[in-house]
Amino acid sequence: MSIITHFYNALKGQGNLNELAMDNMRLNASYPINELHGINEVSLGYWQHLQQALPDIERKPMIEFSSDYQGAQWIAATGYFIGTFSNNLFDIPATHKTLYLRFTELVKLEQGKIADYFIILDFLDVMNQAGVNPLRKSLGHDGLIMPPSTMDGLNPVSSSTESADITEKLVMDMLDELGRFDGKSLESMQLNKFWHNDFMWYGPAGIGTTRGIKGFRKHHQGPFVFSFPDRVVDHKATIIKKGHYVATGGWPHMHGSHLSGGWLGLPPSGKNLELRVMDIWRREGNKLKENWVGIDIIHMCKQMGLDVFEMMKLSNNL
């Protein structure tokens, strides 16, 4: 079992947290959790909320791998917390049915213990499952996210340094290409050089899953880049790589001015927003095949002046 699995077992009382996490560990999580410091704050301000809502909660990663970055060991993972939604979660009404709480995370270890924990929890998808999402329906497909089609996310077939370096270069070159948008045509970004024709983009609730370059442009990229024309990706983001997999992310990972309408059907706020984003990419051959994306959509809306949790309560008379 990974240290993250042991960490959650310890949070449940089945182990010693002090052996797994630094006393001053930092957790950065989706809004409304945000930043917590120390094991006690993490237990009360993060885990207690999840475990109270889902008493039989279980963490089920579909991808998890580690590598060194800037002299420290990092772990990247994505999957679901699964349990019976028995009690409200941040005022999202309990359904008393099985809940799939999607997560994407980057975890930094120091001296063999968890020092920094970054996690995006898709609370908007929880609202979808409870039938109380106040935002419009996703343009892409809503629903459960698929694991890698190769089914090797927990044990990548290739772990060679050479393979990981090839994957990293492909991802970074592709991100450079995304920065070449001319402000007029989506085709100014030549994604066909980097993506398979049937590329799968597993986006968060509010955007949804898209298939192929055409689907990506129609259901996410078009509305996004025209709404945030000056968006900038922070290339200083953490990079974790193993074989055909690469994870990138930061807190924040991107900035952009919300200058036009269209994205999520929301009017432009005119504000410069920071985006908490994490990506996990899978390479197949010389192109990218799949991408699991975590974005803190609710945090973006908060910066626009929209409190999605308050909107949820008002629109559903909660």
Encode pLDDT of 56-98 as tens digits: 999 999 999 999 999 999 999 999 999 999 999 999 999 999 9
Question: What is the pLDDT at residue 28?
Answer: 97
Q: Give CA angle at 282 (186, 227), nearest 5°.
A: 30
Q: Residue ranges of the domains in the chain?
A: 3-130, 161-315
Between 291 and 221, the more confident residue is 291
pLDDT given at position 236: 66
The mean per-residue pLDDT over the stretch 265-285 comes to 93
CATH code reported for the domain at 3-130: 3.10.450.50
Q: What's the mean pLDDT when you consider all of the chain?
A: 93
Q: What is the pLDDT of residue 44?
A: 97
Q: What is the average per-residue pLDDT within 18-27?
A: 96
C-alpha to C-alpha distance for 93 and 80, rounded to whole angstroms: 19
Q: How far apart are CA 98 and CA 85, in angstroms?
A: 6
Residue pointed to by tokens 């301000």: 45
CATH, domain 161-315, list 3.10.450.50, 3.20.20.70, 3.90.79.10, 3.40.50.2300: 3.10.450.50
Is the pLDDT at 121 greater than 90? The verdict is yes
Fold match flag (3-130 vs 161-315): yes
pLDDT given at position 261: 78
Contacts of 267 (CB under 8 A, 6+ apart): 261
Give the tens place of pLDDT for each residue, 196-251.
999 999 999 999 999 999 998 888 888 888 888 888 876 567 999 999 999 999 88
What pairs with residue 78 in β-bridges? 63, 104
DSSP string, 67-91: EEETTEEEEEEEEEEEEE--S-BTT
8 Å CB contact between 104 and 123: no
Return the structure tokens found at 94: 């309990």
Are 291 and 76 within 8 A, CB to CB? no
Other residues' Cβ atoms within 10 Å of the Cβ of residue 302 = 17
User: What's the DSSP call for residue 137?
Assistant: P
User: Which residues, listed in sequence order, are joined to residue 292 by a DSSP beta bridge?
Assistant: 202, 280
In this predicted model, what pLDDT tens digit does every residue of 147-206 receive, in sequence order? 999 999 998 877 788 999 999 999 999 888 887 777 777 777 788 899 999 999 999 999
Distances (CA, A) of 251 to 67, 226, 305: 19, 23, 20
Q: Where does residue 57 rank: exposed (0-12), middle (13-18), buried (19+ CB within 10 A)?
A: buried
Proportion of the chain above pLDDT 90, given as a percent: 75
Q: What pLDDT score does 237 carry? A: 77
What's the rounded Cα separation, in Å, for the pair 200 and 212?
6
Phi, psi values for residue 67, rounded to 5°: -165, 170
Separation between Cα atoms, residue 15 and residue 5, nearest integer Å? 11
> Is there a cis peptide before residue 93, judged by omega within 30 degrees of 0?
no
As a 3-state breakdown, the chain gives helix, strand, coil percent values, each rounded to 5, of 30, 35, 35
